Structure 1
Amino acid sequence: MNQPFLRFLLVSIIHTAAGLSIMHLLYRLPHVPYWQATLAGIAASAVISYILNRTFTFQSNVSIIKSTFRFIAVMIVCYYCSYRLSTQLTDWAALTAGIISPRLANNAAILLGAGFYTILNYIGQKQFVFFR
């Protein structure tokens, strides 16, 4: 593994823990709907992710304005693709295959989506946002 990827994983642990905590707290305690809870978690962790990845992971000198707009675009695409795919897979697992309880499908989708999001986000940030 290369060093930027290891740093990215460390940063990901930090901002993912924050994002997942917010998602689950919102989804479970005040029963905020799935899409709003996941969006709030991703948005809250975005600032941590941007700052740490810009300075620590990629040590980028790309302009803040340019990288911010690209970062937001990558986040939106990664968010939608990751959480759409995770809901489709967990719905299939619950409703078609009977692998998981339908009651737990959205909780499983949140965790699965976080994994998809991390992988897609690394690729997008490295190749599009903070490239040199």
Structure 2
Amino acid sequence: MAKKWIDGTVPRFLLVGVINTLVGCGAMFLLYNLAHWSYWLSSAANYLLGGIVSFFLNKYFTFRKREWSWGQAVRFAVNVAACWLLAYGLAKPLVLQLLAGRSLWLQENAAMLVGMCLYTALNYLGQRFFAFRK
């Protein structure tokens, strides 16, 4: 059972994730902390920019899908949107409750970090078994 879930795609997905994180997460924290965008707009920009990078790297490098399909692109976009909404929707109230009484800046930055972790796990499963399924 574990072999079905953990194979050669996992290290490639994690490597793409590092690249994706540098692009998307960098934009998210810069937009939130320097441009003073909201929590939701900053995290959405992360996944819009990172999603574009992630789509092409995961399609061709991680899951080695060479053919082009609008279906894959649509499934990928649906997966990213669903994972983002779920991960960040769960992270924010959880962290706000855990860090009650702390500054909103700390709460929202921490929520974005927790949301990133939740998103990564959900996104891998969604890409592997939905967006780029065999």
Show CA shifts across 1:28-78 (max 9, x none). Answer: 111011100110111011111000000000012464201000000000100
Instruction: Compare 11-20 and 56-65 and name the one that shifted more.
Output: 56-65
The number of aligned residues is 128
Structure 1 residue runs without a partner (length 5+) = none
Q: Is the 8 A contact 1:60 1:131 kept in 2?
A: no
Higher relative contact order (CA 8 A, sep 6+): 1
5 Å matches for 1:41-60? Answer: 41-60=46-65
Matches within 5 A, 1:106-125: 106-125=108-127
Is this contact kept in 2: 1:91–1:102, CA < 8 A?
Answer: no
- Gap runs ≥5 in structure 2: 1-5
Q: With structure 2 as the length reference, what TM-score do the two structures score? A: 0.90
TM-score (norm 1): 0.92
Q: How is 1:28-107 mapped onto 2 (pairs within 5 angstroms)?
A: 28-61=33-66, 63-95=68-100, 101-103=102-104, 104-107=106-109
Stretches of 4+ aligned residues off by more than 4 angstroms: none
Instruction: Write the distance in 1 (CA, Å) between the matches of 2:107 and 2:67.
Output: 40
RMSD of equivalent CA atoms: 1.3
Whole-Å Cα distance in 2 between the matches of residues 116 and 13 of structure 1? 15
